Amino acid sequence: MKRPRRLPLHFTLLELVVTIAIIALTTVLAVSVFRGESPAQQMESAGLQFEAFCAKVRFQALENGADRTVVFYPETRTFKMAIPEEFQAKEEEAKEEEEEKLRLAAVEWTLPENFELGTEFADKEREAEKEYFELFRFFSDGGASGSLKFELRYQTLRKVFDISPLTGLLTRNEGDEEE
């Protein structure tokens, strides 16, 4: 009886290099996915989201030719855009009002979990008699009101945001650590 012939296993150097590269790439991707974002990345992400939110509110003020305010709801930790009462038309139809409410509801930002606001906000929260309080206002010419510094804290990191009264642009101090 004849035994089946075995084929010798030979790999070229190129095949070995490609296999090792695929294994290395898969390992790097798996580690980065399971590790998650570092605190610095989470702080940067939250800062960029807040900047985008403020840019949307400022754009609404410029686009509509009427002031828009940024209000904070401490109970839900949410920042929302609002139209000041003096700019709301008295004779709006119910349909237009409902459409406006739906559009405004989309312009909001919620403070991420484990993030805190600076001490100036804690003082304002205690003083607030309503369920929300106004932080600052964007004017129809692009400017802004308020000298409130918005401080965002996460673990030992903090970012301080300030709005220019002249241009309405948001500036921030990058990556300061608490001492």
User: What is the C-alpha radius of gyration for the chain, rounded to an integer number of angstroms?
Assistant: 26
Positive or negative: CA dihedral 158, 162, 168, 169:
negative
In a domain, 59, yes or no: yes
Its domain, for residue 53, covers 37-177
In a domain, 13, yes or no: no
In a domain, 58, yes or no: yes
**Of 179 and 79, the one with more pLDDT:** 79
For the chain, the average pLDDT equals 77
pLDDT band, residue 176 (cuts 50/70/90): very low
What is the structure's pLDDT at 22? 95
Rounded to whole angstroms, how far apart are CA atoms 156 and 149?
18
124 token code pair: 């304002």
pLDDT band, residue 146 (cuts 50/70/90): low
What is the structure's pLDDT at 179? 42
For the chain, what is the domain count? 1
- Of 108, 125, 106, the C-alpha closest to 116 is 125
Q: Is residue 100 helix, strand or coil?
A: helix
In a domain, 66, yes or no: yes
Question: pLDDT tens for residues 81-118?
Answer: 887 776 666 445 444 655 665 565 567 888 888 888 77
What is the structure's pLDDT at 178? 46
- Maximum alpha-carbon separation in the chain: 102
Model's pTM, two decimal places?
0.67
Average pLDDT over every residue of 51-77: 85
In a domain, 157, yes or no: yes
For residue 2, the 8-state DSSP code is: P
Based on the number of CB atoms within 10 Å of its own CB, is 75 exposed (0-12), middle (13-18) or buried (19 or more)?
exposed
Residue 56 phi, psi dihedral angles, 5° rounding: -65, -45
Positive or negative: CA dihedral 176, 117, 110, 89:
negative
What is the structure's pLDDT at 137? 86
Contact 174, 158 (CB under 8 A): no
In a domain, 109, yes or no: yes
| CATH number of the domain encompassing residue 48 | 3.55.40.10
Average pLDDT over every residue of 163-175: 76
Question: pLDDT tens for residues 8-42?
Answer: 677 788 888 999 999 999 998 888 777 777 788 88
Q: What H or E segment, with its residue span, contains residue 71?
A: strand 68-73
